[in-house]
Homo-oligomer: A and B are copies of this chain.
Amino acid sequence: MQQVQTLIHCSTLIPVNDRADKSERALTNHSIAIQDGRILDILPTSEAKQKYSSDINPQFNHHIVLPGLINTHTHAAMALLRGLANDLPLMEWLEKHIWPAEQKWVNEDFVQLGTQLAIAEMLRGGVTCFNDMYFYAENSAQEVTKSGMRAHIGMILLDFPTHYAKDIDEYFSKGLALHDQYKAHPLVKCAFAPHAPYTVSNPPLERVAVLANELELPVHIHLHETQDEISQSLDQYNVRPIQRLHDIGLINSSLVAVHMTHLEENEIDLLAENKANIVHCPQSNLKLASGFCPVQKLKEKNINVTIGTDSCASNDDLDMFSEMHTAALLAKGIANNAAALPAYEALRCATINAAIALGIDQETGSLEIGKSADLCVIDIDTLEAQPIFDPIGHLVYATQRSQVTDVWVAGKQLLSNRELLTLDQEEILNKTKDLNQKILN
């Protein structure tokens, strides 16, 4: 008998493993042996009980165990602006509500509390990793580290000054200092995060292209969010935003392009040829009436598609189960094809595809021997979750994040029976309510 750190027994296990044929997608009565934060073995429970022993050996008899979900686009700290303004188009929403509120309220404390709130919400929703873009990224990174979660922290870049940085050089220097600080961190990584084509001019984008290539970092950017953005680019640069970024050398496998609505066929081909990664944010796109990301067409060209929630200001949650569900439904409606983005593909968008986009697919995104033990557990012993004919369809079409009971990241348990183990739930809630009152008054 080999003693291991943790031995998890699962009545149903969905590893999201590439090599699995269809019948192996959902395994019954399997166990996961975890050692040094990594998956040492995945095997039938009957064998596992002969081969391994552990002091920590939870038995999930009425549960589905799956890889932790990865939220590939959010602005975590904006959890404090959840639902600040509703039923408005992007530019009015940004210019009249979000930007003024940020100007007034966002500082280091705000980012600290907001990131805590977001991490708490995401962990309780089965999310083990997120790709962030926000001000005071140092504070976000600190909160991620304290929580034990995994994240890519954006080195945000904007042409205009904010409280966070006075000019583009300061954005760059703060971002690169952060990257330097975390480059050896096992869970926290940095990504370049030029905000959008309409807020970042060519010289800084050219600098990003050079540095991202040199440092082998992802480039996280809002791209083709609205038709207005495209029209404005045609006015100002005589090309559509994708072509402009291509001319700068940014359309490549490091690109993590968020939203991607109003795409033309030749743009889809360009994205496919250059192996760009697309983050689909269906709820945010719908709420702001930004347009539709043609997910089915992207999949047909083998483009890597992932899913993001966007921020709580436009969503109004960080719920990746709901986002997978919306993505799977909307893809069918838009493609006029009920087979578009089937459940297993939607689940891949929220797990392994996301890991590929962030360049961490050797580390996470699926449950496989050697990878980090990043996983979540869903309780299916409820009226709302029964009956179950197909566990994978069930995860995407019938599961709510309130069913998440337990979460591990890198072999460390962060959520146990819905209680957060590394964050003070009560304190975050109370501080959030206090700030809510201040902003309302």
Contacts and interface: CB of A to CB of B under 8 A. Distances in A.
A300 B300 CA distance: 37
Contact of A428 (B383, B439, B440): B383
B332 A286 contact: yes
B386 A82 contact: yes
Interface stretch (A29-37, A207-215, A314-322): A314-322
Given A86-B390, A400-B402, A383 B120 contact: yes
A74 B432 CA distance: 39
Contacts of A389: 81-85, 436, 439-440
Contacts of A425: 383
Given A292-B333, A333-B285, A86 B393 contact: yes
Given A83-B389, A343-B87, A384 B124 contact: yes
Among A87, A121, A382, the one with the most B-chain Cβ atoms within 10 Å of its Cβ is: A87
A158 to B, nearest CB: 24
Nearest to A382: B429
A398 B316 contact: yes
A contact residues, range = 35 or more
Interface stretch (A88-96, A244-252, A352-360): A88-96
A342 interface: yes
A121 to B, nearest CB: 5
A326 interface: yes
Interface string A411-439: 00000000000000100110011011001
A117 interface: yes
A263 to B, nearest CB: 16
Contacts of A330: 286, 330, 333
Interface in A239-290: 283, 285-289
A317 to B, nearest CB: 6
Interface string A323-340: 000100110110111111
Nearest to A80: B387
Contacts of A286: 329-330, 332-333
A386 B434 CA distance: 10
A25 interface: no
Nearest to A384: B121
Most buried by B among A124, A316, A388: A316
A85 B212 CA distance: 44
A369 B286 CA distance: 37
Contacts of A332: 87, 286-289
Given A317-B398, A329-B287, A383 B339 contact: no
A338 B88 contact: yes
A111 to B, nearest CB: 15
Contacts of A338: 87-90, 93, 287-289
A390 to B, nearest CB: 6
B124 A383 contact: yes
A332 B402 CA distance: 27
Contacts of A387: 80-82, 432-433, 435-436, 439
Q: Return the 9 tightest CB-CB contacts between A and B, nearest first.
A: A387-B436, A402-B402, A286-B329, A86-B393, A289-B338, A87-B342, A316-B398, A89-B338, A286-B333
Interface of A: 80-90, 93, 117, 120-121, 124-125, 283, 285-289, 291-292, 312, 315-317, 319, 322, 326, 329-330, 332-333, 335-340, 342-343, 381-384, 386-390, 393-394, 397-398, 400-402, 425, 428-429, 432-433, 435-436, 439-440
15 contacts: A82-B386, A82-B388, A83-B398, A86-B342, A86-B390, A87-B342, A286-B329, A287-B397, A289-B338, A291-B336, A312-B398, A319-B400, A322-B322, A386-B436, A400-B400
